[in-house]
Structure 1
Amino acid sequence: MTPNFNEYPLQSIAVPYQYQVRDCDEEQIVMRSEMTLFQGTGVGEKLKKREADDESELKYEQKRFKNGQKIYNGEELVRTPSVDGLLKYSINDETDEAVAHTRTVPQVCHNDKALEDSPISEAPTAPNNASGVGNNNNNGLPLAGGQSDDGLPLSPIASPSNTASVEDLYMLRNTVSQQEYLGAVTTVAHTQLSPAAYRNLVFQLISKLSRSELSDLGTLVKDNLKRDFISSLPVEVAMNILTKLRFEDISKCLAVSKTWNSLLNNTPYMWRKLMVSEGFMSLNEFKKYKETTALSRQDPQHEDMTRVKFLQNHTYLKNCYSASFKPHRTTLRGHSVKIVTCLQFEDDYVITGADDRVIRVYDAKEERFITQLSGHDGGVWALKYGQDGILVSGSTDRSVRVWNIKEGKCTHVFKGHTSTVRCLDIVEHQGQKFIITGSRDHTLHVWKLPNCHDESYNPNTCKVFSTTDSNPYFVGILRGHMAAVRTVSGHGNIVISGSYDFSLMVWDIAQMKCLYVLTGHTDRIYSTIYDHERNRCISAGMDWTVRVWDLEDVQKNGHCNVIGPTNSGCIKVTNSMLTLQGHTALVGLLGLSDKFLVSAGADGMLRGWDSKTYSRQFAYHSKDMSAITTFYANNNLLVSGSEGQFNVYNLRNGTPIHSDLLSDADQVWSVKFNNRKFVAAVERDGHSFLEFLDFGRSEEKEGDHT
C-alpha cells in the first residue's frame, strides 16, 4: 500500500546524512553483530531448538508452593546471584571483538515478582562436575557448594550466561509490564547499537509517526531544550547583556519568566541606560541625573522612578509616531507683537521674548500663563535659563538682566555693552557659573551669574550696575572680532563665538584669552555649536556651508600660524576639517543631538548628518521650499516650522509623521519640545500665540483657547 506522505511527511524524504549508516567494511561487521538481536530464526524456532537441547538446558517441571517457598519435583532451583534484582543483556560472545568499542550495558531493575516468575532468573542445580576447586578464589566468586549470604545453597555449577537473545526478550514480555518491557528493549538498542546505527533506528521510528504525532513530539522536544541562561549567569554578566538590548527586546524579556521580570524591573541602572539609548535623555542630562539621584538615594524614603518615567516617555513617543493620534491642543495668547525672537523650554517653564520689551512666562505642566517680566527698554533678543528659576536676558537696550521667575522680579542689571546684546550663553567652570554675552559692538563680555543660594542674595531687591568697574560680577571683555558677534556657545571654560567678520574665535575664559581664530567661511556666520564631547566646533553661515573644526588637533584643519604676541599663543587656523555641502542658501540654524547634526536654511531644506562621522542621514524640504524659520531635534524626532507649515518627522525610520497639527498658523517662529509636549510660538491673523501640543492625552472635541 502506498504510504500517505501528507499524513506521514517524513516517509517522503531520504534518510538525512547524519542518520545514515555508512557501508564501510568495519561498520558492516559491527552492524551484523548488533543486528543478531533482531534477525535470524524466528522466536518459535529458537524455542523449539531450546526445548530439544537436553544438554544445554534442563527441562522445567511443575512447580508447587508450600509454606511460602518454592518446591520442585526435580532438582532444586536457586536464584542466580548475578541477576539478583537486575537483568543484564549483552551481545553473543563471538561478536565481542567486533564491537569492543560499544558502551557498557546498564542494569535494568524489575520487581521481585517478575524476577521470581521469569525463567531467566532461575537455573536448575546440577551435579557438581567441577574438579580441582581450591580454597582460594582469585576472582572473588563464591565457592561451589557453599552458602550464599541469604542462607540459600549456591549452585554447584557455573550459572549459564544471561545473554539477551530474541526469545529472552519475548519471554520477558510475558512476565513484566509493557512499560518495563519497552524500557528493556530501548536499553538494549541504546547500549548495543553503534551511535550511527542507533540514530538510524531512531529516525526510522520517527518517520513512522503521523503529522499530528510529529507535532506533539516536536513541542515536547522544543520545550525541554529551553534553557534559562540569564538565571544561570552572575547578575553582573546578565545585566551587561540585557543593558545592550533595545526596549522592544526588553519588553519581550519581561514576559519570559518571573525571574527575568523581577531582575529587569528591579534594576534602575538598566532603565537609566534605556532613557539614554532610546533618546529620552541626552548624555549631559544623564550625567546630571546621576548626580542628583546619587544624593537622593541617601534618603531611605527615596524610590527610583526611572522605570516609571521611561514607560511614560515610551508611551508619549509611541503616540507621536502614530499619524492617527491627535494630541491635546491648548492655545494661549502671546506677545503684543507678532514676531517672537526667542523661546526657552526648561524645568516646566516656557519663556518667550519679543520686540514688545517684555518676557512672558508660562507653566508648561498646567499649560497656563504665569507672569510677565518687564524692565527692558528695548526688544528682547536673547534668553537663557540657568536653573533654579533663574533667567538671563539680553536686549537691544544694550543691557543684560538677571531674573527670578519664581518671584517674578529682576534681581540684577548689568550694563557695559555699547550696542544690542544679540546672543548669550551660560557655562559652568570649577563650580562657578558664567554669563557670556555677544554684542553688535564686536565684543563678548563675561559675567559671574549671581547665586540664588548665597546669603546675600535678595530676590526682592534689584541691583543695577551701570558700569563694569563697579560691578563685582563683571569678569572681563573678550576682544578680537571686527564685526557684530552673531552667535556664541560654550561648555566649561571654552567659549566659541561666530561673527559677521566671517571668522570664529575660540576663547578660554579661565585665562580670558583667545586660543584659536578659525577662518574658512566666505560670508557672515549665523550659527555655531561647541561639541565638547568630541572637542569640535561646528558653524554655518551665509556661504551656504556647514563647517566642522577639530579643536583637539588643529593641524587637521589646515595651515596654522601664531598671530599677535608670541606669548599670547593665539593660533590662526586656515580652513576646516570638513565642509558639509548641500544647501543652496543661507544656513542660519544648527542643532546637535547625540546621534544627529541638523542644519536648516533659507532654501527650505533640513539636512541631517551623523554626529560622529558626518555622513548624510536624511534631507527634508518644506512645502513650496519656504525658508525654515525654526526647528528642534533629538535622537527620535525632528520638528520644523516655516511659513504656514509645522512638520514632525520620525528620525528612527526617516518618515514624515504630522503636517496638519498647526495648519491654521500663518507663521511658526519658534519651536521646542520635551518628551511629552511640543511648544510653538506662532503668528495667526497678525497676532502672537503660544501653542501646546500634549502627546500624553488625545485631542478633545474642542481645543482649549485662552
Structure 2
Amino acid sequence: LPDFIRTFDELPATLQSYTIFQLLRRAPLPVLQTLNQVIEPSLRRDFLSDLPPELGAYILGFIDARTLCRVSLVSRAWKRLVDGDALPRVWKDKLEADGLWVGDGSDEQEALDLARGYKDDLFLQRWRAGVWDEQPSPFPPVHVKPAYKALYRRRVLTRHNWKSGTPTRTSFPSSTPVAGAPNTNTGNHVVTCLQFDTDKVVSASDDNTISVFDMKSGTVRANLAGHIGGVWALQYSGNVLVSGSTDRTVRVWDLDTLKCTHAFVGHTSTVRCLQIVEPENVNPDPHGPPVWQPAFPLIVTGSRDFSLRVWKLPMPGKDRDYLPDLSELENEVDPASLNPYHLRHLTGHTQAVRALAAKGNTLVSGSYDMDVRVWDISSGRVRHILRGHTQKVYSVVYDHVRKQCASGSMDGTVRLWSTETGECKAVLEGHTSLVGLLGLTHRNLVSAAADWTLRIWDPVTGACRHSLAAHQGAITCFQHDEHKVISGSDGTLKMWDVKTGEFVRDLLTNLTGVWQVSFDERFCVAAVSRNGRSEFEILDF
C-alpha cells in the first residue's frame, strides 16, 4: 500500500483522475458515503460569508430588490447580510439607488419607528420627561436597529398606491354636532386650518370653532368653543393644541380633556400665524451634553397688529392653568406683561405680519410692509431686515440646513435669502400673480400662486425645474414631499410627479372649492366645499 501511494503521487494529474475514477467504480456504497462526507465540506464554499461584510454588501448592491428577497432565503448567514442584522448598508443603498431616500434625517427616523412598531415623537417624550425643566430629568436613549428593508417595502408600496391604486374614501360633513349638543354650525364656513394623525382630524374655521373628528369614522368628538372670532392659526403636538383668532387671543387646549387651559392676551389685532418651536440640540459633539436652543418649547405668534410675540408653551396637567378674566385686562396698557408665559414682544414691522417660520433659535417673518425679518428668538433681536420685494409678502419658509429662507410676494416673485448674511441669493421669476403659498422639503422648493400654477424650484440655485399648469383657478392649498405634489383649486384636488413635473391624476373632482389639504405616507385629508357645504374627504392609500 505505501508503494501504491508513492506511485500515485508520481502520476500526472490526468492519470490520477483516471485511477480514482476506476477505484470509485469498484467501491461499495458504504465506502462512497464515507468519501462523500470527507470531500463535500472541502468543495462547499460560501463566497459571501467568506468575504468581509462590506464587500458582501457591495456585491449585493448590484441585485434588484426582488432578487435580494430571494437571496435572503438561501441561508441564515445570507439573511443576516441582506436584511442588515450585521450591516444595514444593503437596503439603505437600495433606497438611495431607487430614488426612495430623502436624505434629511427623516429616513433614519422612519426606519427606527418601523423597527419599534410605533411612531416615536422624541419632542413629546423629552417634554413629558422634563428634559427642559429648570431641573432637567435624565432621558436615557433607547437603542434600536433601523428597519431599512421594511422602509423600502413601505415606500415602494405607498408610491405605487398613490400613483395607480384606488384609495378607500371616507366623507363626512364638517358641521356635525357633538351628541347631545346643539348644532350652531351653518355648514358653509371656511375651513382655515387642518392637521391630522392616525387617531384624529383637527380643523379650525371662520365660525369661531375648532373641531376634533375621529379619523376612522369621521364622527365629531368635540367642538372646542372659547374663541369669539374666526380661528385662522392652529397647530397641535401630542395632546397640546395652540390656536390664534380674530378675537386677538391665543389659546392653549388639552386634547385629552378637550378643555382650554390657557388664554393669552397681548395682540391688539387678529392672530394670523403661529408655530410651536421645539428646542434643537446645537452641540456639535454627539457624545457631549445637549445644548438646547431655545431652552424650552415656545409658541411664536404673528398678528395684524404689526408685531410678533413669544410665549412659553405650557404643558397641560403640569404647568398651572392661566385663564384670566379678559374683561379685566381691557384697560391694561400691555396685558401680556401680567402673563407668566409671555416672554418677548417683537416689534419692527410697519404692517401686518402675514407669515412666519421658525427652527431652533431662528425666526423668519414676512409682512405686508414688503419686508422679511430674521430674528433671534432667545433675545428678540433682529438679525437682518431683508428688503427687495415691491409688494406685500404673503409666505415664508426657513431652510435651517442651508441657512437660508424663501419668501413669496404679491409682486409675483419668490426670493431666496441668506439668513447668515442677509443678502438676496436669487430672485425666482416666472409667476405672474400673487405667490401666496410656499413649501420646502430637502430637495425642492414649491410655490403656488394666483396665476393658476405651481412651480418647483431648486432650493440651492433657484432654477425652475417644473411649472405645474392644469388648474383653472388660483391655487388655494397644496402640500408636497420628495415624490408628489397635491394641490387644490377650481373644484379639483390634483396630484403631480415632483421628478418629472407631470400631472398624475385627479384625486377629487366635482367640488365647489378646496379649502385645505394635508397628507402623510398613507392618508390624504382634504377640507372641501361641495354644493355650498363644507365637508372632509379622507383618502386611505
Partner of 1:667: 513
User: Is 1:548 equivalent to 2:390 in the alignment?
Assistant: no
Structure 1 Cα separation of the partners of residues 400 and 471 of structure 2? 35
**Are 2:454 and 2:468, in contact at CA under 8 Å, matched by a contact in 1?**
yes
Could you say which residue in structure 1 is the equivalent of 2:263? 413
Cα distance in 2 between the residues matched to 1:355 and 1:500: 22
The amino acid that maps onto 1:415 is V
Checking the alignment, whether the CA contact within 8 Å between 1:495 and 1:507 is kept in structure 2 is yes
Tell me the equivalent position of 1:330: 170
Deviation at 1:369, TM superposition (A): 2.7
The letter for the 1-side match of 2:381 is K
What per-residue deviation string (whole Å, max 9, x for no partner) do you get for residues 659-704 of structure 1? 1x32121111110101111100000111100100111xxxxxxxxx
Q: CA separation in 2, counterparts of 1:480 and 1:532?
A: 23
Q: 1:402 and 1:635, CA in 2 relative to 1: closer, same or farther beyond 3 A?
A: same
- Give 1:252's aligned residue: 67
- Alpha-carbon distance between aligned partners in 2 of 1:584 and 1:354, rounded to the nearest angstrom: 30
Counterpart position of 1:319: 161
1:443 to 307, 326, 329: 307
Give the SS at the match of 1:255.
Answer: helix
Match of 1:278 in 2: 100
User: 8 Å contact 1:438–1:444 — kept in the other structure?
Assistant: yes
Provide structure 1 residue ranges, at least 5 long, that are not aligned to the other structure: 1-79, 90-104, 115-175, 181-226, 558-575, 696-706
3-state SS in 2 of match to 1:529: strand
Once the 2 structures are TM-superposed, how far is the Cα of residue 486 of structure 1 from its aligned partner?
0.4
How many Å separate the matches in 2 of 1:422 and 1:440?
A: 7
CA contact (8 A) 2:308 2:346 kept: yes
CA 1:265 to 1:82, structure 2 compared with 1: closer, same or farther past 3 Å?
Answer: closer
Output the CA distance in 1 between the equivalents of 2:95 and 2:317.
31
Letter in 1 for 2:229: G
Question: 2: distance between equivalents of 1:618 and 1:496?
Answer: 26
CA distance in 1, matches of 2:482, 2:356: 23
Distance 1:82 1:308 in 2: 58
Deviation at 1:632, TM superposition (A): 0.5
Amino acid at match of 1:84: T
AA at the equivalent of 2:174: G
Inter-partner Cα distance in structure 2 for 1:240 and 1:374: 59
Tell me, yes or no, if structure 1 residue 604 matches structure 2 residue 472.
Answer: no
Give the residue type in structure 2 aligned to 1:278: L
Q: How many correspondences in the alignment? A: 460
Q: Work out whether 1:681 is the aligned partner of 2:527.
A: yes
Aligned position for 2:184 = none
CA shift for structure 1 position 266? 5.0
1:391-440 CA distance string (max 9 Å, x none): 11110000000011121111100000000011111112325111111111
Instruction: Please tell me the residue identity of whatever aligns with 1:664.
Output: N
Instruction: State the distance in 1 between where 2:208 and 2:364 align.
Output: 28
Name 2:247's counterpart in structure 1.
397
Tell me how large the CA RMSD over aligned residues is: 3.6
Residue 26 of structure 1: aligned partner: none
Question: Amino acid of the residue matched to residue 7 of structure 2?
Answer: D
State how 1:188-587 maps to structure 2 within 5 Å: 230-235=48-53, 238=56, 249-256=64-71, 257-258=74-75, 259-265=77-83, 267=85, 278=100, 283=105, 286=108, 298=142, 307-308=149-150, 311-322=153-164, 325-335=165-175, 336-346=187-197, 348-385=199-236, 387-429=237-279, 430=292, 431-452=295-316, 454=318, 456-457=319-320, 462=323, 466=329, 467-554=335-422, 557=423, 576-587=424-435
Which TM-score applies when normalising by structure 1? Answer: 0.59
2:491 equivalent among 637, 640, 644: 644
Task: State how far apart, in whole Å, the 2-side matches of 1:82 and 1:357 are.
Answer: 101
Distance 2:464 2:222 in 1: 43
SS in 2 for 1:628: coil
Over residues 304-328 of structure 1, what are the superposed CA-to-partner deviations in whole Å (9 max), with x where a residue is unaligned? 7775465345323211111xx3211
1:253–1:261 CA contact under 8 A, matched in 2:
no
SS at match of 2:211: strand
Tell me the amino acid that sits aligned with residue 614 of structure 1.
Answer: G
Secondary structure of 2:156's counterpart equals helix
Distance in 2 between residues matched to 1:399 and 1:273, nearest whole Å: 50
Contact 1:489/1:529 (CA < 8 Å) preserved in 2?
yes
CA contact (8 A) 1:444 1:477 kept: yes
| Local SS of the residue matching 1:469 | helix
Deviations 1:608-649 (A, max 9, x none): 11233433322211333x111111100111101001111112
| Structure 1 counterpart SS, 2:433 | coil
- One-letter amino acid of the structure 2 residue matched with residue 361 of structure 1: V
Q: Name the CA distance, whole Å, in 2 between partners of 1:531 and 1:583.
A: 22
Rate the CA distance shift 1:281–1:665 in 2: closer, same or farther, 3 A: farther
Q: 1:51-130 alignment to 2 at 5 Å?
A: 84-85=7-8, 108=16, 111=19
Q: Give the stretch that moved more between structures: 330-339 or 577-586.
A: 330-339
Which deviations, in whole Å up to 9, do the C-alpha atoms of 1:227-259 show, x marking residues without a partner? 9765344335655787xx69x934432222434
Change (3 A) 1:86 1:662: closer
Does the Cα contact within 8 Å between 1:628 and 1:640 map onto a contact in 2? yes
Change (3 A) 1:365 1:110: same
The offset of 1:341, in angstroms, is: 1.4
2:475 corresponds to which of 619, 628, 644? 628
Distance of aligned partners of 1:442 and 1:355 in 2 relative to their CA distance in 1, 3 Å threshold? same
Give SS of 1:468's match: helix
Alignment of 1:131-170 (within 5 A): none
Question: Cα 1:261–1:378, aligned 2, differ >3 Å: closer, same or farther?
Answer: same
Change (3 A) 1:179 1:526: same
Q: Give, as a single letter, the amino acid of the residue that structure 2 aligns with 1:353.
A: A
- Kindly tell me: are residues 451 and 609 of structure 1, through their superposed partners in 2, closer, same or farther at Cα, counting changes over 3 Å? same
* AA at the equivalent of 2:441: S
CA 1:279/1:690 → structure 2, altered by over 3 Å: closer, same or farther? farther
CA distance in 2, matches of 1:589, 1:415: 28
Structure 2, unaligned runs of 5 or more: 26-44, 114-119, 126-138, 176-186, 280-291, 330-334
The residue identity in structure 2 corresponding to 1:283 is G
Determine the C-alpha separation between the residues in 1 that align with 2:456 and 2:537. 26
Give the aligned partner of residue 690 of structure 1: 536
The structural deviation recorded for 1:512 is 1.4
Structure 1 Cα separation of the partners of residues 59 and 11 of structure 2 = 50
Q: Which amino acid aligns with 1:321?
A: K
Structure 1 residues 260, 486: closer, same or farther in 2, change over 3 A? same
Q: Counterparts of 2:438 and 2:348 in 1: how far apart (Å)?
A: 24
Identity of aligned residues (%): 37
For 1:81 and 1:309, how far apart are their aligned partners in 2? 64
Secondary structure of the structure 1 residue equivalent to 2:338? coil
What's 2:135 paired with? none
- Contact 1:545-1:581 within 8 A present in 2 as well: yes
CA distance in 2, matches of 1:475, 1:240: 54
Letter in 2 for 1:413: A
Q: 2 CA distance for matches of 1:109 and 1:327?
A: 67
Shift of 1:498: 0.3
Q: Structure 1 residues 347, 427: closer, same or farther in 2, change over 3 A?
A: farther
